[in-house]
Amino acid sequence: MRVRALLSAIMLLIAMTSEALAEPRRVLLLHSFGSEFAPWNEHARILRQELRRQSKEPVDIFEASLATARYAGDDERPFVDYLRALFVDRKLDLVIAIGGPAVSFFHRNRQQLFPSTPAVYSGLDQQRVPPLTANEAVVAVANNASAVVANILRVLPETANVAIVIGASPIEKYWMERLRTEFQTLENRVMFTWFNELSFEEMLQRASTLPPKSAILFTLLLADATGVTHEEGKALTALHAVANAPMFAAFDVFLGQGIVGGPLTVIADLSRQSASVAVRIMDGEPPGSIKVAPIGYGTPMYDWRELQRWNISESRLPPGSEVRFRTPGLWEQYRPQMAAGGAALLLQATIIAWLLIERRRRRFAQADANSRRREVIRLNRVTTANVLSSSIAHELNQPLGAILSNTEAAQLLLKASPPDLAQIDEILSDIVRDEQRANEIIHGLRRLLSSRTEADLRTFDLNDTVGDVVKIVAPEIDKRAIQLRTILAPEALLVRCDPIHLQQVMINLVMNGMDAMDGEPRPHNLTIRTRQNPETKVVEVRISDSGIGIPKDKLATIFDAFFTTKPQGTGLGLPIARTILRSYGGDIWAENRRRGAAFFFGLPLARMAAG
């Protein structure tokens, strides 16, 4: 079993090696006029591509051109000897003759050249196909010159003269006689002018001075009447540059080079079909068994630019025609850009509409939020006033009790005879003083509890607000036996805001400081300090206490809503204070001291805000 497996592997290796070392398939392309003559140069180019694409094996392509097709009477023997010598030591797998002259040459000299080599005859007119042997296949072309002229008369019904561009080489003389015969049935409809007896310069001159209602049919131009050869593509371009009449032809390779168009032979179809037949033969299929229908005209094709130039309406074109080279309109030419621009405009319009809607919603939401914020701030003030109520009541009792006592004393003195007017005057002065003191307490409490508006914004000295706050909290300070110290900046600290809002912030911070010192060892010290920061030009207020301080893990969250360390706290005082300060462009922060905590807040100077 091992020996058999080893032998199988060796045989497989030998087969693979021999396959790898096998010579490529050799194919000879025999041109009628030369490898650069249109439309056969395009036919040969596509044919080479298709041979290599369709073949499973490598293809080695040789090319040779039959120069005798352009001249009469030349001896073919040197060219026959050249081809025989070229392949004397090389096995030729296939010959592809392109065009009628090459087919005729190879068919005449086949026995002298390659009698056993299969051949494919490609691109010749179906009426010029020679008798085929079993070793030959053909891919012919079904030419129909009358259909080309009929197309001219369809798209230009007023045409009275058709100029036929054709040369004077042997193959062109054949086609001229062929065309004359085909056009006999049309001579009662249109007159034909033949250029075969002209030099190319004379053709150009005649093409530029044709009578009105003329058309030009470009058929074949290999050599003019003087014997000068011409490459058809270049000749067509030169004619188009001077012609005063529309031009037509029968091959699609000329579309886009100056012809109007019509029913055309599609060279790519001819090339692909010829390559397919060639590959089938190289794969072992007998050439004589391969039958291919002649390649006829494809879908009518027209050059939009020539239609416009000669004012030919597209309504005259045959149904199903294909119009190429159409200059795109603004939308077609810039469709991606315009689509992108339109999409961008639509997106922008959508975004703008959405932003306007969101802006309106935000205004309503902001108005609602401001209303709720003001209400929360007012409720906070009420809560603060409630906390201070007992102290304020105690503070009011002092001047009210003094007023009552002084009034009773004044009444007694007035009953004396004579009354002591000097003492009565002193008593009345005390009553006025005590009344002013009670009035200040009541006025400060009323301002603390009142609702504020934007009209209450004004510029004032922050030091004055500290004094107002001290007066409000003084009863509570005395009640708790706290030592309050104020250290005010010597200069005026002008800020622009609602002074009651600023009072509320300070009162909240002072009350928090007093609460933080409850139950702590004495002395209980509370300090309010104001200053102007020389670097930032910001007014700063520091309120420090000697209380328990702020837990380190809570220092970052004390300004969060509903966060509190007090058993009965709401957790709204500090968040409200921060909201108030930020609404005026300020901020608030806190830090622990060696004993107690310190709260800081800053506000911009009024002159900076005004600038």
* Residue 438: closest CA among 389, 397, 381, 409: 397
Structure tokens at 2: 């091992």
- Of 412, 427, 451, which residue is a domain's last? 451
Indicate whether 203 pLDDT > 90: yes
pTM of the model: 0.56
343 inside domain: no
Same domain? For 181 and 111 the reply is: no
431 and 367 Cβ atoms separated by less than 8 Å: no
SS3 259: strand
- Of 124, 141, 158, which residue is a domain's last? 141
Same domain? For 509 and 577 the reply is: yes
The pLDDT of 294-315, averaged and rounded, is: 94
On the 0-12 / 13-18 / 19+ scale of CB atoms within 10 A, 357 is exposed
Most trustworthy range by pLDDT among 83-97, 182-196, 417-431: 182-196
The pLDDT of 39-52, averaged and rounded, is: 91
Residue range of the domain that includes 45 = 22-141
Indicate whether 478 pLDDT > 90: no
Q: Which residue has the higher pLDDT, 260 or 566?
A: 260
The pLDDT of 267-271, averaged and rounded, is: 94
Q: Average pLDDT over the chain, rounded to whole?
A: 84
How many other C-beta atoms are found inside a 10 Å radius of the C-beta of residue 10? 10
Q: How far apart are CA 252 and CA 301, in angstroms?
A: 8
The pLDDT of 335-361, averaged and rounded, is: 87
Please tell me the predicted confidence (pLDDT) of residue 608.
47
Please provide the DSSP assignment of 405-417 as one string. Answer: HHHHHHHHHHHSS
SS3 41: helix
217 and 248 Cβ atoms separated by less than 8 Å: yes
9 inside domain: no
Q: How far apart are CA 86 and CA 30, in angstroms?
A: 13
Q: What is the tally of structural domains in the chain?
A: 4
Q: Which residue has the higher pLDDT, 332 or 187?
A: 187
Cα distances (Å, whole numbers) of residue 106 to 29, 121, 340: 11, 9, 60
Task: Please tell me the total number of residues recorded for the chain in this structure.
Answer: 611
The pLDDT of 383-389, averaged and rounded, is: 55
Indicate whether 20 pLDDT > 50: no
SS3 80: helix
Same domain? For 551 and 564 the reply is: yes
Chain segment 240-259, per-residue pLDDT in tens: 999 999 999 999 999 999 99
Cα distances (Å, whole numbers) of residue 114 to 80, 362, 563: 10, 93, 106
Same domain? For 473 and 588 the reply is: yes
How many other C-beta atoms are found inside a 10 Å radius of the C-beta of residue 223? 22
DSSP annotation of 252 = G
* Preceding amide of 58 cis, omega within 30: no
Q: Which of 166-175, 554-563, 588-597 has the lowest mean pLDDT?
A: 554-563
Indicate whether 159 pLDDT > 60: yes
Same domain? For 554 and 418 the reply is: no
447 inside domain: yes
Helix (H) or strand (E) holding 497: strand 494-497
User: Which positions ≥6 away from 498 have C-beta within 8 Å?
Assistant: 452, 456, 457, 458
Q: How far apart are CA 433 and CA 489, in angstroms?
A: 29
Cα distances (Å, whole numbers) of residue 118 to 127, 128, 562: 22, 19, 100
460 inside domain: yes
605 inside domain: yes
Helix, strand, coil shares of the chain, percent, nearest 5, are 50, 20, 30
4 inside domain: no
Q: How far apart are CA 16 and CA 551, in angstroms?
A: 86
pLDDT grade for 330, boundaries at 50, 70 and 90: confident
Q: How far apart are CA 325 and CA 347, in angstroms?
A: 34
Q: How far apart are CA 95 and CA 105, in angstroms?
A: 12
44 and 54 Cβ atoms separated by less than 8 Å: no
Chain segment 164-197, per-residue pLDDT in tens: 999 998 888 999 999 999 999 898 999 999 999 9
The pLDDT of 558-572, averaged and rounded, is: 61
Please tell me the predicted confidence (pLDDT) of residue 457.
78
The pLDDT of 211-231, averaged and rounded, is: 91
Q: How far apart are CA 122 and CA 142, in angstroms?
A: 12
pLDDT grade for 18, boundaries at 50, 70 and 90: very low
* Residue 512: closest CA among 468, 583, 576, 602: 576
Q: Which of 85-99, 164-178, 392-406 has the lowest mean pLDDT?
A: 392-406
Q: What is the identity of the amino acid at 580?
A: I
Same domain? For 319 and 368 the reply is: no
Please tell me the predicted confidence (pLDDT) of residue 426.
76
- The radius of gyration computed from the CA coordinates of the chain, to the nearest angstrom, equals 56
Q: Which of 8-17, 51-60, 180-189, 254-263 has the lowest mean pLDDT?
A: 8-17
Same domain? For 181 and 325 the reply is: yes
Please tell me the predicted confidence (pLDDT) of residue 542.
94
The pLDDT of 595-609, averaged and rounded, is: 83
- Of 451, 469, 484, which residue is a domain's last? 451
Kind of pairing between the strands at 483-487 and 525-533: parallel
Please provide the DSSP assignment of 515-579 as one string. Answer: HHHTTSPSP-EEEEEEEEETTTTEEEEEEEESSS---GGGTTTTTSTT--SSTT--S-HHHHHHH
**Percent of the chain clearing pLDDT 70 (strictly above):** 82
Same domain? For 308 and 374 the reply is: no
Most trustworthy range by pLDDT among 113-117, 335-339, 455-459: 113-117
CATH number of the domain that 123 lies in?
Answer: 3.40.50.2300
Same domain? For 301 and 164 the reply is: yes
Same domain? For 430 and 498 the reply is: no
C-alpha dihedral sign at 9, 10, 16, 17: positive
Residues paired with residue 301 on neighbouring β-strands, in sequence order: 262, 322
8 inside domain: no
337 inside domain: no
The pLDDT of 427-449, averaged and rounded, is: 68
Same domain? For 509 and 587 the reply is: yes
Indicate whether 19 pLDDT > 70: no
Q: Which residue has the higher pLDDT, 35 or 15?
A: 35
Please tell me the predicted confidence (pLDDT) of residue 334.
75
Same domain? For 47 and 180 the reply is: no
Please tell me the predicted confidence (pLDDT) of residue 423.
77
Q: How far apart are CA 582 and CA 601, in angstroms?
A: 10
SS3 390: helix
The pLDDT of 572-598, averaged and rounded, is: 86
Q: How far apart are CA 549 and CA 565, in angstroms?
A: 11
CATH number of the domain that 524 lies in?
Answer: 3.30.565.10
Structure tokens at 116: 């056993």
Q: How far apart are CA 37 and CA 33, in angstroms?
A: 7
277 and 94 Cβ atoms separated by less than 8 Å: no
Q: What is the identity of the amino acid at 516?
A: A
